Structure 1
Amino acid sequence: MKNPLDSAGLDAAIENVHRAGMPGLFAQVRDGDQVWRGAAGVADVTTGRPVTADMRHRVGSITKTFTAAAVLQQVESGRIGLDTPIGRYLPQLVPGERGDTITVRMLLNHTSGLAEYLPHAYPSLKAFPALAETGPESLEDHRFTHFRATDLIGLGVTAPAVGAPGTTPGLYSNTNYLLLGLLLEQVTGTTAEHCITRDVIERAGLRHTGFPATPYVDGPHSRLYEAWFGMIDPPRDHSVHDMSWVGPSASLISTVTDLNRFYGKLMAGEIVGPSTLAQMQRTVPVVSQEGKVIDYGLGLHPMRDPGKETFWGHGGTVWGGGALAMIRADGRRRLAVAVNLQRWNGLDSSGRPRPHPIDDALATLFRVAMYG
């Protein structure tokens, strides 16, 4: 058997992430019929309640793969054209020349040139922290604020373009996926959340995955601790938060078991057809939110070590929480992991995150999980 699961190694690796400073994390690794599930640390630093591997969790931008799959199902049905300009569907949101030039594909792979709305949200909507202008208290102030997607999209569309449509490298932007959510609403006559639930979540047979109806996480879950690069000390729980600030871009709640099942179904051609999956895996260079150039497809991106096998998937962060899901190209080896602390790195004098022991410990966990 090639690279069988190393249960003892995985147990040690996940514990080392906790020892490096992560309050709690949990994961599932699969290889064919072999399954390892593990958890380390606490879900609540005050009570000491432990994390467990079956907890529900905010999975952030992993939501983008679900949204992309729903859009591509509509492409398969002929209701959406992958290379049709978005202005054909939503002219009021992306008017003029850009609406005539930016295609659905460009939204999916972040080459639209539309800016990320988050840096503009504080001065325009008095929400979210901008390091140059305010402190992280804005997170607390807007814990229960409900935003309209059209307002957030407007910030991204009216901000200076970050590039000409279709040019690379693209820039990762949540504005793109909020537009895709409204595109789904336009062509299906229902909300994006309902469409994704019906056509993707239920189709994949996911029992513990869904969009939040309230600022709360239903079911067993961890508190989510936001450190904001050391500016919130001790880190503050943000597991209760209105997720309308990201909507179908990053608001999904799931479990590590459901994430592994979803990516398995996707790679098997059971969510979208094989030719559409091949489109999802056609990548272009995109600048990530961390400022790194990555390869990005249509709601998927590859992750690999040089000379080793390629994994496909997505990562995600929200206030206080993070998750990563990846699957080997042959569909056998899968990893899904969730953590309950975010922005644990302090910043150096130039404003860049300093290395932290958690970074190395997580990298080791990923290597043991993916390659044995």
Structure 2
Amino acid sequence: MSKPMNPAQLNPAPLNAQLDTALENVHRAGLPGVFAEVREGEDLCWQGAAGLADVDTGRPVAADLRHRVGSVTKSFTAAAVLRQVECGAVDLDAPVARYLPALVPGARGEAITVRMLLDHTSGLAEYLPYAYPSLKAFPDIAATSPQSLDDHRFTRFDPLDLIGLGVSAPAVGTPGGRPGVYSNTNYLLLGELLAHVTGDTAERCITRDVIERAELRDTGFPTEPAVAEPHARMYEAWFGMIDPPRDYSVFDMSWVGPAAALVSTVADLNRFFGRLLAGEIVSPASLRQMRSTGPVVSQEGTVIEYGLGLHPMDTPEADGFWGHGGTVWGAGTLAMTRADGRRQFAVAVNLQRWNHLDASGRPQPHPIDAALAAFYRLAMTG
């Protein structure tokens, strides 16, 4: 159901009806639930929700639900680091060894800079593939078994252990080399950097310097495995290997911390990216740094342009949209704002890894993909 909220806008009803239809098409393509918001500048012009928050009870989704936003967290963490750069506590081009010599030791720590952590050009490997054989902590695609998801719902991980897995793994590139390779190890290290220079936890630093600065009411780092109500169930299909998909809305998020643990709403995400792109969270000079991009290999294996915790949406319709997407078990989010602030959208879904894998292990196309793409185009172009 849509909520036209801007009476000053010239006859928004036709567009709102189209957005309602596009969102319903995403649900009908196979998602249990999907909810979204579109803004014109500071004006809320549409909110929508389609489908179910809970498939067992039939509870419908609503546009104001809290949701795990995955790697959208990286934009918040990057903004907090840039705030420390602005106050002189961090030098973007200083080696990591200046701040965290024990975590990235030797010549490597001298070669990798803070900037390289932010833009994924450090060459440090993603720790997740090594967590399965080392900690038996995460699903191993090759083993075609998601059992470890259930085994570790309530496991509390030490970020230093996870960082150690990524740092000790074979390098995925040379420091500063292109293309970079997307790695959560980089952002766990940035969390430790924030803790080192502020004397506080990364979560409290990000809350104080970014979340509160943006005046976000429903955004924060979870302090327990459950998400505060109201929220949707979050269903993981694990490429068809969990059938029917299972709810993982209760899960200890210490496995990703300042890389992907944040909980937010679509309204708060639009507010955050709108203010970030307007230069109200970091300075205009810092924002220019965040929007300086280069090629990075994503976790899906595609090459994307990536800056310092921000990336542009690379489609012909995007025309200057910046933001971030994210996935965790059962939950997915995308939030994008046009650089001039004139249009914003954020969308959240409560199913992940709906694609089945082909014989080579690549995800096959699914009707959900096309339906989401159609919604994105309409939300961007109006």
Could you tell me which residue of structure 1 aligns to residue 129 of structure 2? 119
User: Once the 2 structures are TM-superposed, how far is the Cα of residue 306 of structure 1 from its aligned partner?
Assistant: 2.5
Could you tell me which residue of structure 2 aligns to residue 62 of structure 1? 72
Could you tell me which residue of structure 1 aligns to residue 299 of structure 2? 289
- Aligned residues: percent identity? 73
Could you tell me which residue of structure 1 aligns to residue 36 of structure 2? 27
CA distance, structure 2, for counterparts of residue 103 and residue 305 of structure 1: 31
- The alignment covers a number of residue pairs equal to 372
CA distance, structure 2, for counterparts of residue 369 and residue 360 of structure 1: 14
Could you tell me which residue of structure 2 aligns to residue 311 of structure 1? 321
Question: Aligned match of 1:92 in 97, 102, 107?
Answer: 102
TM-score, normalised to structure 2, is 0.96
Residues 1:42 and 2:52 aligned together: yes
| Gap change, CA 1:91 and 1:23, over 3 Å in 2 | same
Q: Work out whether residues 318 and 380 of structure 2, in 8 Å CA contact, stay in contact via their aligned partners in 1.
A: no
Residues 1:334 and 2:344 aligned together: yes
User: Once the 2 structures are TM-superposed, how far is the Cα of residue 108 of structure 1 from its aligned partner?
Assistant: 0.1
Could you tell me which residue of structure 1 aligns to residue 251 of structure 2? 241
Q: Work out whether residues 227 and 233 of structure 1, in 8 Å CA contact, stay in contact via their aligned partners in 2.
A: yes
1:90-239 alignment to 2 at 5 Å? 90-133=100-143, 135-239=145-249
Question: Aligned match of 2:265 in 255, 260, 266?
Answer: 255
Could you tell me which residue of structure 2 aligns to residue 300 of structure 1? 310
User: Once the 2 structures are TM-superposed, how far is the Cα of residue 34 of structure 1 from its aligned partner?
Assistant: 4.4
CA distance, structure 2, for counterparts of residue 57 and residue 308 of structure 1: 25
CA distance, structure 2, for counterparts of residue 346 and residue 307 of structure 1: 28
Listed one character per residue, the Cα deviations across residues 211-261 of structure 1 (whole Å, up to 9, x for unaligned) are 000000002000000000000000000000000000000000000000000
CA distance, structure 1, for counterparts of residue 349 and residue 232 of structure 2: 9
| Gap change, CA 1:129 and 1:307, over 3 Å in 2 | closer
Listed one character per residue, the Cα deviations across residues 133-179 of structure 1 (whole Å, up to 9, x for unaligned) are 35101101101000000000000000000010000000000000000
CA distance, structure 1, for counterparts of residue 297 and residue 140 of structure 2: 19
- Equivalent residue letter for 2:298: S
| Gap change, CA 1:134 and 1:349, over 3 Å in 2 | closer
- Equivalent residue letter for 1:17: V
Find the residue that maps to 1:182 and give its secondary structure: helix
| Gap change, CA 1:324 and 1:308, over 3 Å in 2 | closer
Residues 1:15 and 2:8 aligned together: no
Which 10-residue stretch deviates more, 105-114 or 30-39? Answer: 30-39
Gaps of 5+ in 2: 1-8
Q: Work out whether residues 3 and 371 of structure 1, in 8 Å CA contact, stay in contact via their aligned partners in 2.
A: no
CA distance, structure 2, for counterparts of residue 365 and residue 224 of structure 1: 21
Gaps of 5+ in 1: none
CA distance, structure 1, for counterparts of residue 371 and residue 163 of structure 2: 37
User: Once the 2 structures are TM-superposed, how far is the Cα of residue 3 of structure 1 from its aligned partner?
Assistant: 12
Q: Work out whether residues 234 and 350 of structure 2, in 8 Å CA contact, stay in contact via their aligned partners in 1.
A: yes
CA distance, structure 2, for counterparts of residue 79 and residue 308 of structure 1: 35
User: Once the 2 structures are TM-superposed, how far is the Cα of residue 308 of structure 1 from its aligned partner?
Assistant: 5.2
| Gap change, CA 1:309 and 1:230, over 3 Å in 2 | same
